[in-house]
Amino acid sequence: MEPTSREHISRILLAALEETAEGFYNIDKIAERSRVSSESVRRVLSRFGGEKAHRIILAVAALKAGCEPSKVVRNLTWREMEDFAREIGGRAGYQHLENIYFGLGGRRFQIDLILWRYRVILVVDCKRWKKPLAGETLRSVSLRHEDRCRALAKYLEATIPGNNRVSFQPVVVSVYEPSTRLSGITHVVPVDTLINYLNTFDYGYSSGGISASLHLRWSELLKAMLGRR
């Protein structure tokens, strides 16, 4: 009989992520790891594309089935973690762009992901590190990311100027709980709390003065300008 409980489904999906790190689906190994029959594995995976299911689709489905986000992310590559954060942001109603490159003042900058809604842009840096962010490491990561965030604000104000004030919030997403969730002006968000963070973000919050005056159609222009790179 096909397993229908969330526990069974989450176990199968998590096992599928664990067993497909190299890109190959071995139904019998997934069944063994998840302690169900091979037929049950096939039936569950068939809901998401069968043995050709995209791993990010499986990751989001595992989350919906009740898997802890940190357990899901530990079975993703660093690039897949960015895709996972983007997918969560999209499902929370945010527009998004990823892998953004731009130049300012003779320097080149790269940003993993931006999510935006209303007049706030969340500038996201995903850290798939195998230990919690803490101490000088956390401070250094936060300061570098704040620098990228300020550079993006200046770059956009120079390229799509206008009279609409838009705020920029630096966000670092980590696999594990950090020593603090606020480092300087950077929000450090463990992936287990990312959904709640995005759903409850205070749009009246001041990020310490990172803002830019952008064109009335800044959201549309942002996608046209940065999305083509």
Residue that wins the pLDDT comparison between 94 and 23: 94
Interval 108-128: pLDDT, tens: 999 989 999 888 899 999 998
Q: Do residue 58 and residue 85 come from a single domain?
A: no
Mean pLDDT over 121-145 rounds to: 91
Specify whether 22 is located in the same domain as 120: no
Q: Look up the CATH number of the domain holding residue 167.
A: 3.40.1350.10
Which structural domain, as residue segments, surrounds residue 121?
A: 79-226
Structure confidence at residue 41 (pLDDT): 86
- Specify the number of domains making up the chain: 2
Name which of 126, 133, 118, 120 is nearest 86 in CA terms.
126
Residue 12 inside a domain? The answer is yes
User: Which of 42, 67, 92 corresponds to the end of one domain?
Assistant: 67
Query: Quick one: average pLDDT of 169-197?
Result: 90
Confidence at 208, pLDDT banded by 50, 70, 90: low
Residues 174 and 204 in one domain: yes
Contacts of 170 (CB under 8 A, 6+ apart): 123, 125, 142, 145, 146, 148, 149, 185, 186, 187, 207, 210
Over range 191-206, report the average pLDDT: 80
Residues 109 and 211 placed together within one structural domain of the fold: yes
Asked if pLDDT for residue 207 goes beyond 80, the answer is: no
Mean pLDDT of the chain: 85
Residue 3: pLDDT over 60 = no
The reply to whether 55 and 100 lie within a common domain is no
Clarify whether residues 47 and 85 are in a common domain: no
pTM of the complete model beyond 0.85: no
Model pLDDT, residue 205: 60
Q: Does residue 136 surpass a pLDDT of 90? A: yes
Query: 186-190 and 161-174: which strand pairing?
Result: parallel
Q: 19, 37, 67: which is the final residue of a domain?
A: 67
Task: Give the per-residue pLDDT at 224.
Answer: 78
What is residue 23's predicted lDDT score, i.e. its pLDDT? 67
pLDDT band at 189 (very low <50, low <70, confident <90, very high): very high
Please give the share of the chain, as a percent, with pLDDT higher than 90: 30
Per residue in 34-65, pLDDT tens? 888 888 888 888 888 877 778 888 888 888 88
Q: Is residue 73 part of a domain?
A: no
Instruction: Give the residue with greater pLDDT, 58 vs 187.
Output: 187
